[in-house]
Amino acid sequence: MLIGYARVSTQDQNLLLQHEALKQVKCDRIFDDMASGRKIEREGLSRALDVLREGDTLVVWKLDRLGRTVKQLVDLVTELANKGIHFRSLTDSIDTSTPAGRFFFHVMASLAQMERELMIERTQAGLQAAKNMGRIGGRRRKMTDSKIEMAKKLLNDNVLPVDVARELGVSVPTLYRWLPASVVDE
């Protein structure tokens, strides 16, 4: 069975062109969505995926109708292949029921993997460069050196830890994390 899927992003766009193309290739059923391609969960796509069985083919007019990122596309087509379901994109001339179509998707998978690895590499390089310049990643710590000194002074003046924490704008566990228990419990 051929199951068609069409998607437009806005109310201003029209599904007619996609529906006509899917009918021309004799799709048995057509599902559609009016939703952003960034949204992974789409009602029409979910219904189409529920109907697909081993040996069926999911057909789209164009790759970008199925997903926005290479990773989304590769993940979905891999999931389909694991269930014995083929994928076909009409305008991109991709058909995973053929050796060339499967090869094309293996190339896409490799590119997606490389893209992820490069992103990780760039992130690590950026963090290292920031560290070399004396910056530390993550959010700013709540207990600054001056707050730690103030906490010690207040605790030495027998102010209760809960009151010290409230005064400094931190939680009691944060106060205990930054000061040794001996200082807090004195």
**Strand pairing category for 57-60 and 29-34:** unpaired
38: left (phi over 0), alpha (psi -120 to 50) or beta: alpha
Question: Helices then strands (H, E): number in the chain?
Answer: 8, 5
List Cβ neighbours of 3 (8 Å cut-off, separation of 6 or more): 27, 28, 29, 30, 31, 48, 51, 52, 56, 57, 58, 59
CA 28 to chain centre: 32
Is 9 a residue of the active site?
yes
CA 163 – CA 152 distance, rounded (Å): 13
Judge whether 30 and 90 are in contact, CB under 8 Å.
no
Judge whether 152 and 183 are in contact, CB under 8 Å.
yes
- Active-site residue, from 9, 110, 146, 182: 9
Which residue numbers are catalytic?
A: 9
